[in-house]
Chains A and B, each alone.
Chain A
Amino acid sequence: MVDRRRFWTAVGAAAFFFLFALAVTPLIGSSDAAFSRAWAGQSPDKEILFQVRLPRVLLAGLAGGALALAGVVFQALLRDALATPYTLGVQSGAALGAVIAICFGWRAIGAFPAVWFSGLIGAAITIMVVVGIASEGRRMSSFTLLLTGVTINAICMAGILFLHYTAGFTESFTIVRWLMGGIESMPYNTLAILTIGVAAGVGIAVVKSNQLNLLSVGEDWAATRGVHLSSLMLICYLLGSFLTASITALTGPIGFIGLIVPHALRMVVGADHRLLVPTSFCVGGGFLMLCDTVARTALAPSEIPVGVMTAMLGGPFFIWLLRSGRRSLWA
C-alpha cells in the first residue's frame, strides 16, 4: 500500500540525500575552494568549483541514479534479483564501440569525443540485435532476452579482448583505464542533454511503476492484470538499455551500483516500484557522488577508479544491511 504521505516521506528523504551530496561534494577537494568566493566570481575558486568539480559531481549524480534505475528495471524485467544494468549486453556493446575508437585513434566525431560517439553506436547496435532476436516470436520472452543478452555480452567481450591483444602499448593502457570506468568533468551542454534523457527515463519508470510491480511477479500475472506484456517488456528493455548506454559511453563501466542500490532500498522501502524507482535514482546518484569524491581525494593527486570505490564502500554496508537481518521498515 502506497499513499501520498508514505510516498513523499520516502522520496523526500532520498531526494534530500541526493541534494545534500550535490551541495557538499563540490566543496571537497585537494585545493580549497569556497562557495562564497566562487559566487563572487573570484579566481581560481570560480573555475575550480564551476568548471571542474560541479560538472563532475553532476555527472556522478546522473550516472549513479541512471545505473541504479536501470538495475531496478532489469531486475523487474528478468525477475532476477542478480540482474544488473550490464546483464543484457548493452554495456559491452558500448565498451566494444569505445575500444574500437581508442584502437583506431579516432579523436572526435562532430563536436563530441569519438569514444562517446562510438560507444553509443556500439550500444545502439547491441540494442537492435537483442530486440531483433528476442522479439522474433509473437511474444517477447524474458528468457530469450536474457540468453541473447548474455551471448551478445560474450561476443563483445571477445571483440574487446582481441582488439586489446592487438593494440599498441599506449592504446592498451587507455583501454584498461577506460574499462575501469571513471567520472570526468563534462561540458555543461553535454550534461544538459544527459539530464533531459535521464529525467525522461525516470518519468517513464515512475509512470510504469505499477506495471513494473506486476511484471516483477510474473509474465502471466502481469498479462492478466491489464498489462500489454510485450510492449511493457520492450519499454523496460529500451529504458534500461538507453540509460545504461548513455552513461557507459561517458564514464565507462561502473559496477556494483545497479545491483546493490536497488537491493539495499528494497530492505528499507520494500519491493513496491512506486517507491523503489524514485528512491533508487536519488540514492544511487547520491552514493556515486560520494564515492567519486572519495575516489578523487583519498590518494590525491592521483585518482582511484570509481568502480573500486563503489564496491569497497558499498559492499561492507550491504553486508551489514544483510546481517542486521531487518525486514523492510515499512512492511
Chain B
Amino acid sequence: MTLVYALDDVRVRLGSAEILRGISLRFHEGELAAVVGPNGAGKSTLMSVLSGMREDYEGECRFRGVEISQWRKGDLGRRLSFIPQNVRIEFPFTAEQVVYMGRTPHCNGLFETPEDREAVRRAMETTETLPFARLDFRVLSGGERQRVILAGALAQEPSVLLLDEPTTFLDLKHQISTYVLLEKLAREGICVVAVTHDLNLAASYSDRLVVLSHGEVAADDVPGEVLTKKLLNDVFEVDAGILSGPNGRPWVSYEQPAGQLPSQGRHPW
C-alpha cells in the first residue's frame, strides 16, 4: 500500500495548552481509518494538520513525501478534500452550486467544463442528493446538507478524503450508506480518514481505529484489537461490553460512565 501520510512527533500548541503531544502515524492509500476519542482529545486539530490548514505545528507531517506546509494550495486542492464539521452558509447557494465548488481546484477558467458537469452529476447521484440539486442549501435538513457537502468532496475527485464527523446529523440509513460509500472509496484506492464519535459504525466499516486521548495516540490497530473494555474505561470513561457484531467486528454495548451516575432508583432531580 502506498504511503500517503507520514507523521512524526507532530505537536500543536494553542497558547499554553499542548493540543497534540507528539503524534506519529502513517496513513496509506486504500485504507479507511477512523479517528476516535473523547472531546478535546485533539481529533479536529489533527485533521487541520492533515488537511494543510494548520501550518504552525512542530514535528513532521509529510504528505506524499513532502512536508504538507510546503505544498501549493492549488496542488493540494486537486489531491485532498476536507469536510469540516459544520458548514453554515449565509448566502443563497443552491445544493448544486455547493457541489460545484468542489470543482474549483480543477477549474482553469471561469466556467465549468463537461467533465466538471459529469463529476458533479456522478457525485450527487452517489450521495442521493440529485432530488434537491436546485434547492437553496439553507432550506435543507441537517442530514441533507451533510450529504451535499459529501457530494462536493466527491466532485473534487481527491485521492485523500478527510472527514470531520461525517454522520452526525444523518439518519440511520444514511449513516450506514455513508460508511458503505467510504469503504467503497477506500477499496478504490482512496485514503479515507474520518473523525467520528460512533464507535460501532467505525468498528464495522473501518480498517483501522486510531484512538486519541489527551493529544496522544492511545491505540492504533484493527477495530477488534483496539476496542477492549479496558480501553473504553481508560480513554472514554465508560463501562461497556464488547459484543460480536456484523462480519465478526466488535460491537460496543454502552452501559454507563464508570462509577459516576447512580445505578438505580429514582433520578435525584
Instruction: Report which A residues bind B (CB closer than 8 A).
Output: 1-4, 7, 75, 79-81, 138, 206, 209-211, 213-214, 216-218, 220-221, 223-229, 266-267, 270-272, 274, 327-328, 331
Contacts and interface: CB of A to CB of B under 8 A. Distances in A.
B55 interface: yes
A217 B156 contact: no
B74 interface: yes
Interface residues of B, number: 42
Contact of B84 (A4, A216, A220): A220
B73 interface: yes
Contact of A216 (B82, B90, B120, B135): B90
Contacts of B120: 1
A210 B52 contact: no
Given A1-B96, A138-B55, A271-B92, A225 B110 contact: no
Task: Please give me the 3 A-B residue pairs with the lowest Cβ-Cβ distance, nearest first.
Answer: A226-B77, A226-B105, A224-B82
A214 B84 CA distance: 13
B111 A225 contact: no
Nearest to A210: B104
Given A1-B96, A81-B91, A206 B77 contact: no
A226 B108 CA distance: 12
Given A1-B100, A7-B111, A225-B104, A80 B90 contact: yes
Given A213-B101, A271-B97, A221 B112 contact: no
B76 A217 contact: no
Contacts of B101: 213-214, 217, 221, 225
A226 B74 contact: yes
21 contacts: A1-B97, A2-B112, A4-B111, A211-B104, A213-B93, A216-B89, A220-B48, A223-B53, A224-B82, A225-B81, A226-B73, A226-B105, A229-B73, A266-B91, A266-B92, A270-B92, A271-B92, A274-B110, A274-B111, A328-B94, A331-B136
Interface string B123-158: 000000000001110000000000000000000100
B51 A224 contact: yes
A211 B74 CA distance: 11
Given A3-B111, A224-B51, A217 B98 contact: yes
B184 interface: no
Contacts of B221: none
B104 to A, nearest CB: 5
A221 B96 CA distance: 16
Contacts of B74: 226, 228
Most buried by B among A75, A80, A267, A327: A327
Contact of A221 (B87, B92, B107, B136): B87
Given A138-B56, A213-B104, A220-B84, A7 B77 contact: no
Contact of B52 (A79, A224, A272): A224
B102 interface: yes
Given A220-B84, A224-B82, A226-B73, A271 B91 contact: yes
Contact of B112 (A1, A75, A214, A218): A1
B229 interface: no
Interface string B153-171: 0001000001000000000
